[in-house]
Structure 1
Amino acid sequence: MSQTTGPEKLTTAEEWDHKWQGIFDHYQNDIRHAYYIDAVRKSSEKQVLEIAAGSFRDIVQLTKRGVEGHGIDFSPESVGMAKKLYPSLQDRFSVMNAFNLEYPDKHFDLTYHNGFWVLFSDEDIQKMAQEQARITRGRMIVTVHNAHNQSFVDYFDSKKETDSLFNIRFFSVDQMQEILGKVARKVTIIPVGKGKKTHEDWLIRHGLHNPLLINGMFKLSGQRYLERSERLMCIAEL
């Protein structure tokens, strides 16, 4: 996989294998993104794929909430650890390259990933967007780090020299509209993630996981908290 260059950027499966050995267990703890996805998922979207699943925490949580969940990653280490941690789902976890997804056209109702595109060039992102769209029947969701949240950008900048995990790129609303507009007929962008403290994160922290409740918070908030949100959850209707 070709990725953008930068100091200490994680670029290969071998580097990610090593990284996941140190962070896999810790990453099981934050499943907010699964609740975000479930809040916007349609009842008809049953067959779901997570691309670059990494910890596989989100697709596992969604499976618990009723979907037929599948997950892929290009790191054999992360896939192996996920199969060991979740043995009942091991047949649904695979090592796979996001540039060449080994599925037929329109195979999944919904596909998504979180924080994946932040390592790639515009050219590679467009290739992956087209490939993700190919295997998706209805909607694909792309969640990226939010360039409008300057304090969040600054925090990552302060950490990236000592931890390659933070050496990533951020995206604006306009950028995501342009990228996804090339493969989708409609793109809706929802700012998500409030530091585990307020709005949708407050609901999740207090065990209020009802999808209608979280979706209602998204609609109530709209774009008002764009500069305070950690990520942009971009829903592309194909």
Structure 2
Amino acid sequence: MDLVDRVMGKSAFYQEVGPKKSWMRRDYGLVELNFNPDPARTWTCFGVHVRVHRLQWGVGIPEPIVDRVSSVPREVRFTDLTVGLGEADRLTVRPDRDFADSMTFRSSSGAEVVVTTDDSQSRRVPDLVWSIDLATRTVLSSGERQPSPSGPRPGSVDGGGGSVYARRTWARREDVPRDSGVGEQISLMDQFAAAEIDGAVFARGWLAGRRRQLRSGERVRAPIEFLLNQVFYELDEYAIDRTDLDEGDVTEEQLRDHVREIANRLR
């Protein structure tokens, strides 16, 4: 954290800490950082996300590093950036992660850089970069305990097999196919909210749907992205095995009330 503070500064960021301090996110505007706790009870950064699309909103470079940047355009083209990265030393393209709207590069250290374009139908220019994501391979494949509140991007999770919904993005509930990973999560939320299933069945099924979403490369935008993340955070405080219940954990009744409220907001 000392290095992060020296590079990014100790102020001018929004910080969010997960339940039981299982993760932390810092949002500096243009740059977001994700952290996990380590055995020494300090925070270790496992993900760096440059939200390039925010440049269109006038978001500036973090103050501590602004003097190291000569100029920044309001828009960054996907083709220009990926060609430049492809020519960089120590970076190689992953052929199995080369798609029309995203490209993954692997560094000599094993870290991966994922460049994703904005694939929304309403974009003004079809070749704009949405984000640049950097994370180590070991963390990216570690499962549902590594949330990304701003949403996982393609190429960030290893998964076998393909999916008819890979690389798809949904922003409205009515557009989400019921047999997709995202659709499975929403369906289980409705069933749990209606008291058709218990908390353990909901939690196991919902987390399985989330893993399926990540493996297949399904993507969601606001408000679905934000609301599904809220369910994830609630489950982080819920003990599926009630013998593991700790003081302060969410009860099944509390979880149902929260999920019902979130499900209603999705409609």
Task: Give TM-score, length-normalised by structure 2.
Answer: 0.28
Q: Whose radius of gyration is greater, 1 or 2? A: 2
Task: Give TM-score, length-normalised by structure 1.
Answer: 0.31
Q: Higher RCO, 1 or 2 (CA under 8 Å, sep at least 6)?
A: 1
